[in-house]
Structure 1
Amino acid sequence: MPDLPQRSLVDLLDPRGPRPRLVLHLVFGAVVLGFVLVRGLNALAEGRLVPAQYVYPDPVFLLMLGALLPLFALWPLTAWERGAPAHRRAATVGFLACSALLMPVTVEFGFFGLIAVAIALAVCAFGPLGGLAMALLFALVNMGMGLAAPGFATGHALFNGALLLVYGLGVVAAVLTLIGAVRQSQRTRGLLAELAQAHDQLRAHAARDRERAIADERARMAREMHDSTGHHLSAVHLCLANAERAVAALPEDLPRDLLDDLREDIGQARRLTKETLADTRRWVRALKPIALAERSGPAALRSLTDSFGELGVATSFTSSGEWPEDLDGEAELVAFRCVQEALTNALRHSGASRIEVAVHAGAERLDLIVADDGRGPGEGAPGFGLTALRERLAGLNGALETGARPGGGFELRARLPIMTNDQARELEAV
């Protein structure tokens, strides 16, 4: 299961989005509900809907109060990001206009909360200029209401408007600071993710370099065994054959027991040398991998299977499906190792006379089956080779199954998901 993206407190406070965030729903709901409760309680106490201290005509208050209904209806349709659809932008403009109209009657409760929500919406939907324009609009509305109030000092009205403008500018600065912090947090997480991906890629490259180094060392050992040990064993075997012919040419008047002992000792030495030479050749074949740079896909697996057929066991290879062209190198190497390990075990432990290798390339995975007619590895714990192979397959979301065949013999089944080089890099970043 992939890890869920980690979100910081700054992300949770990010106001931007196609619709209002939960925290904005809470703030707006508190403002509207608080205003309705306070005005309702005051109206019950005063015996009238319009406040007694309201200096303007009652229809003006009722007109402004009527903006509450469209304000509430338009709230879910507001868009808190730039580039929103036209109908959501229109709903946002309508909400901002209703906010400016309702603002003068919210003096009892929600005055500054309504202004903060509306300016934050303008900044998110229309950018900094939208926020500045909304702050200026609130300041002008407040100043105009003060200038129109009978007996209200002009200087006091101008001061209130300027004070409200400063508050609006502070809200704009706070929202822009929060948005900047969110963007910086996202950039930091992106850089950390890229760093983690680069680390995983370096680790994967190191593992592949290690694999190549091991393959080179195995090839070197195979050459030394072939050129040194194999050569000396072949020479010893030839010398023993000459000795056997020499014993056959000895005079018949020599003691019979002596001749029989010589023939028996030389024959036994020849058999042991022949078996040791065969084992050496098997080890050479197992140690020396076919270069995947020269052959790939079914061609490499077929060549590997045929090479084991030269060691005295019948082999067959079948391939079906379309081998993916952009198969990840690590996946292809693991597929090669599966077949190589199965063939080596069949020769070393199973005593098989026939080995069948089948490869099927499906749309989403590779299926590798290596079956023989031998006795299998026995009931003990799996060897190091199979254990390591199972771990490598698990690292690529694959699986390995081994066991006896229903009709006798041993079978290895490997399932390996098909992934391209790009998909392999994505798997390494999770």
Structure 2
Amino acid sequence: MTDLPRRSLVDLLDPRGPRPRPVAHLVFGSVVLSYVLVRSLNALAEGRFVPAHFAYPDPVFLLMLGALVPVCALWPFTAWEPGAPAPRRAATVAFLVSCTVVMPLTAEFGLHGLVAVALALALCAFGLRGGLAMAVVFALLNTVLGLAGLAFGYALFNGALLLLYGLGVLTAVRALVGAARQAHRTRELLEELEQAHELLRAHAARDRERAIADERDRMAREMHDSTGHHLSAVHLCLVNAERAVAALPPDLPPDLLDGLREDVGQARRLTKETLADTRRWVRALKPVALTERSGAAALRSLTDSFGELGVATSFTSGGAWPEDLDAEAELVAFRCVQEALTNALRHSGASRVDVDVRTGARALELVVADDGRGPDDGAPGFGLTALRERLTALGGTLETGPRAGGGFELRARLPLTTNERARELEAA
């Protein structure tokens, strides 16, 4: 996670990185400024710059103090992770050596934090062995320097205290690094879980679409084989009845003959209209199968099939249809045209529908325009809402609404995703 609002406190305190982190800058700056402040106040109180209790000649103190210059200069170039470029590793080593020169000054309050910073840097840059080696070097140096003004036992005790201090710092830094790694791993697992959840949702949507398609096919077959067959039989009977009425003897009462002709004729017309409407529903529920044709040919066949139901249709296309287009993307493109044609036939009252398909370098654009009135309430129905969700899931867009000059228009844009690319996205 690179965005700050999503990072936890553990992430902010994690010292690892190609360069010092903001928290490390804060600690280092505080250490140096606090020592400068303490040394200045002590110098004013003692009336001399070199501390009175310093056991070595004054030039030695100035040499140690001067090592703060390379410490501050090298600080921005230190590397807080293994495998850093050679220049940064060299700057890190030089920084640790300079800290070793400055370390004797920790007898005066203010630079104990510099020891902690150096140990943390050695641990992050060179691993546990590097951190332990730095802690031992600090402890031995403190012991040797302590022999100048202390008894052997006291000097050894001071060295042991500094070693214990160093081990405590290393333990705390290792715990912090371990917590940061665990937090990072947990975040990765959550991201993988979210991706798996999205994949499951996509598979569930496909299964739901297949189930809906199967149910629509079943309903279409039942309407065609049952209702459509019965209506055809009734219509044929009524045609025969009209012929029978026309052949009745002319000596029958005129009112009776006229009434029979009108009733039978009206029944035949209503049956014919109902049969035509049933065929429209069958066509809307069960369009031309994608397995028979693919690409622009399937869309053209679908458009032509709706032209057989009393509405004028036209189909135009441009660009080369990708041969390896993802099956899900091709199905969504087919559903876009199907939904627009179905709405124009059933709801819009259109007399003409124009379908235009354009294949670009990166996206497929579908425009279906009619001369109807569109949805009665201006709000998209369930079909358009579900279609927009499927397009969004594939990175596409859907726009619907009135068009200039009257009529209704559906405009869809679908990124071109090949089967191989789709498999790569699912595997990722």
TM-score (norm 1): 0.90
Structure 1 partner of 2:127? 127
Structure 1, unmatched stretches of 5+, are none
Secondary structure of the structure 1 residue equivalent to 2:353: strand
Distance in structure 1 (CA, Å) of the matches to 2:145 and 2:38: 22
Distance in structure 2 (CA, Å) of the matches to 1:173 and 1:359: 65
Q: Which residue of 237, 240, 243 maps to 1:239?
A: 237
Secondary structure of the structure 2 residue equivalent to 1:318: strand
Distance in structure 2 (CA, Å) of the matches to 1:44 and 1:6: 48
Q: Deviation digits for residues 256-278 of structure 1, max 9, x if unmatched?
A: 43333322222222111111100
> What's the offset of the Cα at 1:3?
8.3
**Cα distance change of structure 1 residues 392 and 3 upon mapping to structure 2, 3 Å threshold:** farther
Distance in structure 2 (CA, Å) of the matches to 1:285 and 1:338: 15
Structure 1 partner of 2:370? 372
> What's the offset of the Cα at 1:186?
0.9
Given residue 19 of structure 1, which amino acid in structure 2 is its aligned partner?
R
Q: Deviation digits for residues 167-226 of structure 1, max 9, x if unmatched?
A: 212222221121111111111111122122212222222222112111111110000000
Larger deviation, residues 162-171 vs 393-402 = 393-402
Q: Which residue of 208, 211, 232 maps to 1:210?
A: 208
Distance in structure 2 (CA, Å) of the matches to 1:4 and 1:370: 45
Q: Which residue of 184, 195, 198 maps to 2:196?
A: 198
Secondary structure of the structure 2 residue equivalent to 1:319: strand
Structure 1 partner of 2:178? 180
**Cα distance change of structure 1 residues 405 and 137 upon mapping to structure 2, 3 Å threshold:** same
**Cα distance change of structure 1 residues 161 and 380 upon mapping to structure 2, 3 Å threshold:** closer
> What's the offset of the Cα at 1:113?
0.9
Larger deviation, residues 48-57 vs 96-105 = 48-57
TM-score (norm 2): 0.90
Structure 2, unmatched stretches of 5+, are none
Given that residues 405 and 411 in structure 1 are in contact (C-alpha distance below 8 angstroms), is that contact kept between their aligned partners in structure 2?
no
Distance in structure 2 (CA, Å) of the matches to 1:256 and 1:75: 115
Secondary structure of the structure 1 residue equivalent to 2:355: strand
Given that residues 368 and 410 in structure 2 are in contact (C-alpha distance below 8 angstroms), is that contact kept between their aligned partners in structure 1?
yes
**Cα distance change of structure 1 residues 325 and 103 upon mapping to structure 2, 3 Å threshold:** farther
> What's the offset of the Cα at 1:310?
2.3
Structure 2 partner of 1:297? 295
> What's the offset of the Cα at 1:70?
0.8
Given that residues 398 and 410 in structure 2 are in contact (C-alpha distance below 8 angstroms), is that contact kept between their aligned partners in structure 1?
no
Structure 2 partner of 1:141? 141
Distance in structure 2 (CA, Å) of the matches to 1:98 and 1:3: 35
Q: Which residue of 160, 163, 181 maps to 1:162?
A: 160
Q: How does 1:77-116 map to 2 (within 5 A)?
A: 77-116=77-116
Distance in structure 2 (CA, Å) of the matches to 1:55 and 1:411: 91
RMSD: 2.7
Structure 1 partner of 2:268? 270
Given that residues 346 and 376 in structure 1 are in contact (C-alpha distance below 8 angstroms), is that contact kept between their aligned partners in structure 2?
yes
1:23 aligns with 2:23: yes
1:400 aligns with 2:419: no
Larger deviation, residues 364-373 vs 33-42 = 364-373
Given that residues 31 and 109 in structure 1 are in contact (C-alpha distance below 8 angstroms), is that contact kept between their aligned partners in structure 2?
no
> What's the offset of the Cα at 1:69?
0.8
Secondary structure of the structure 2 residue equivalent to 1:345: helix
Distance in structure 1 (CA, Å) of the matches to 2:308 and 2:115: 87
> What's the offset of the Cα at 1:165?
1.7
Secondary structure of the structure 2 residue equivalent to 1:18: coil
1:49 aligns with 2:45: no
Q: Percent identity?
A: 77
Secondary structure of the structure 1 residue equivalent to 2:19: coil
**Cα distance change of structure 1 residues 189 and 306 upon mapping to structure 2, 3 Å threshold:** same
Given that residues 31 and 110 in structure 1 are in contact (C-alpha distance below 8 angstroms), is that contact kept between their aligned partners in structure 2?
yes
Given that residues 35 and 106 in structure 1 are in contact (C-alpha distance below 8 angstroms), is that contact kept between their aligned partners in structure 2?
no
Q: Deviation digits for residues 286-333 of structure 1, max 9, x if unmatched?
A: 011444455443233222112212223332222223445565555443
Aligned pair count reads: 425
1:251 aligns with 2:249: yes
